[in-house]
Amino acid sequence: MPLSYRLGGLVITDHDFQLPLDHAQPDGPQLQVFAREVADPDGLQRPYLVYFQGGPGFEAGRPVNPPAWLERALRDYRVLLLDQRGTGRSTPVGTLPGLTPQQQADYLRHFRADSIVRDAERIREALGVERWSVLGQSFGGFCVTTYLSFAPDGLREAFITGGLPPIGRPTEDVYRATYRRVMDRNRRFYARHPEHLEQVRAIHRLLQQEDVRLPSGDRLTSRRFQQVGQSMGMGAGLEQLHYLLDFPAGSPAFLHGVEAAFGFARNPLYAVIHEACYADGVVSGWAAERVQPPEFPEEYFTGEMVYPWMFEESSALRPLREAAHLLAQERWPRLYDIHQLRQNRVPVAAIAYTDDMYVERAFSEETAAEIRNMRLWLTSEYEHNGLSVDGEHILGRLIERVREPL
């Protein structure tokens, strides 16, 4: 039974759903998917807005000090914060002990956007909702585009922020474009903070000469240190990197900060299926490693790319190493139906950022042009995390636009 309670002036209802691991086998193994319903006390009968979190492999945020986008949403909707399968209070993935690598891979192939959308449809039916609205941030926008492809009859309207995915492209195309953005972001960082260039080179020399250990016990290598640039594409990402480098190399603050910047102990699912989330009917094949530019300098930081060596160097990922290699060689099913999108009847409003480090702007524009009933807002005003920075304005404008006639 759902549990309802009041918190900070909001009415919260916790829902647990038992759903198939593989929706093609509804009587097969089951898992739990959790969703938290948030409503204004005067809005308990408002229509639903389902929020798809960025990721992959991360649960929805908790409504403590609700973000501005949530406050704006609650004026029109009840909001369903979905802990996507494998995250949060949903059945966690962890390291899948006791399974062979093939069994791990067979399990993990069910955690992409296609399975998440099928979960949402089962939840919609269980709640007795005819149609609902959806909001997807980043990877959540990929989920919304999959929803528009395969289950549009369940949708009233759709909102996408920083998450219009590439459709039908090889994963190599995605990472070539992303590397260009990442290299530009590095140039920007060193132009803003030139004092860090020699410091970063010195840290690399230190890591190559000495055995420096992270709090987890893992060795901090040069290539792992490069990954602290994962947040450079966020609004305050360059400043976060600057203040991480403000700590003395090797100090507890520095080492804890490095590990927190791109760690996997809490959410290994992110690393395992990250490339697969771009694999629209293709094999990913460790594309980020294969297309890394040879001229990529050691003192440059990488973005959100995932590499096979991470499953050797990270103790949190090592138990999934063989499964990750199996999944990298898998030809994945299509995530999007271009023919359905071209005849889409669901009103859609999306914001895309002109200099997004994570989701290539040119590919987003290509996708937007293919989706009928799309209202695209292209802007240089925000970085990838615009929704969390100015959610009242962004979601408010998207709601206005989706209700305007084309």
pLDDT tens profile 66-118: 899 999 999 999 999 999 999 999 999 999 999 999 999 999 999 999 999 99
pLDDT score at 281: 95
Instruction: Give yes or no: residues 11 and 155 share one domain.
Output: yes
Contacts of 154 (CB under 8 A, 6+ apart): 120, 121, 124, 131, 132, 147
| CA 316 remoteness from chain centre | 19
Q: φ and ψ at 297, to 5 degrees? A: -70, 150
pLDDT higher than 80, residue 1: no
Q: Among candidates 302, 260, 282, which has minimal Cα distance to 167?
A: 282
Half-sphere exposure of 188 (CA within 13 A, CB side): 15
Instruction: Give yes or no: residues 154 and 208 share one domain.
Output: no
pLDDT score at 92: 94
In which residue are the tokens 């989701």 written? 359
Q: What is the mean pLDDT of the chain?
A: 96
pLDDT higher than 90, residue 8: no
Asked if residue 154 lies in contact with residue 121, where contact means CB atoms within 8 angstroms, the answer is: yes
217 found inside a domain: yes
Instruction: Give yes or no: residues 48 and 135 share one domain.
Output: yes
- The pLDDT tens digits of the residues spanning 41-74 come to 999 999 999 999 999 999 999 998 889 999 999 9
Contacts of 93 (CB under 8 A, 6+ apart): 57, 86, 87, 108, 111, 268, 269, 272
Instruction: Give yes or no: residues 262 and 139 share one domain.
Output: no
Instruction: Give yes or no: residues 139 and 75 share one domain.
Output: yes
Q: φ and ψ at 164, to 5 degrees? A: -85, 115
pLDDT score at 3: 86
- The pLDDT tens digits of the residues spanning 245-273 come to 999 999 999 999 999 998 888 999 999 99
- The pLDDT tens digits of the residues spanning 188-232 come to 999 999 999 999 999 999 999 999 999 999 999 999 999 999 999
Helices (H), 47-138: 68-73, 101-108, 113-126
pLDDT score at 130: 98
Instruction: Give yes or no: residues 32 and 12 share one domain.
Output: yes
Instruction: Give yes or no: residues 187 and 323 share one domain.
Output: yes
319 found inside a domain: yes
- Residue 35 CA to residue 17 CA, distance in Å, equals 8
**Number of domains composing the chain:** 2
Neighbours of 103 (CB within 10 A): 12
Q: Which two tokens stand for residue 220?
A: 């901090």
101 found inside a domain: no
Instruction: Give yes or no: residues 227 and 255 share one domain.
Output: yes
Q: Among candidates 253, 207, 262, 209, which has minimal Cα distance to 231?
A: 262
Asked if residue 104 lies in contact with residue 34, where contact means CB atoms within 8 angstroms, the answer is: no
pLDDT score at 384: 96
Instruction: Give yes or no: residues 354 and 311 share one domain.
Output: no
Instruction: Give yes or no: residues 303 and 376 share one domain.
Output: no
pLDDT score at 330: 95
Q: Which of 328, 351, 379 is the last residue of a domain?
A: 328
- Give the pLDDT band (50/70/90) at residue 32: very high
Beta strands in 192-304 (DSSP E): none
102 found inside a domain: no
Q: Among candidates 357, 386, 383, which has minimal Cα distance to 187?
A: 357
The mean-pLDDT minimum among 3-12, 72-81, 351-360 falls in 3-12
103 found inside a domain: no
What angle do the packed helices 252-261 and 237-244 form, to 10 degrees?
150
405 prior amide bond cis, ω within 30: no
- Host domain of residue 266: 171-328
Q: Which two tokens stand for residue 20?
A: 């198939």
Would the pTM of this model clear 0.95, i.e. be above it? yes
324 found inside a domain: yes
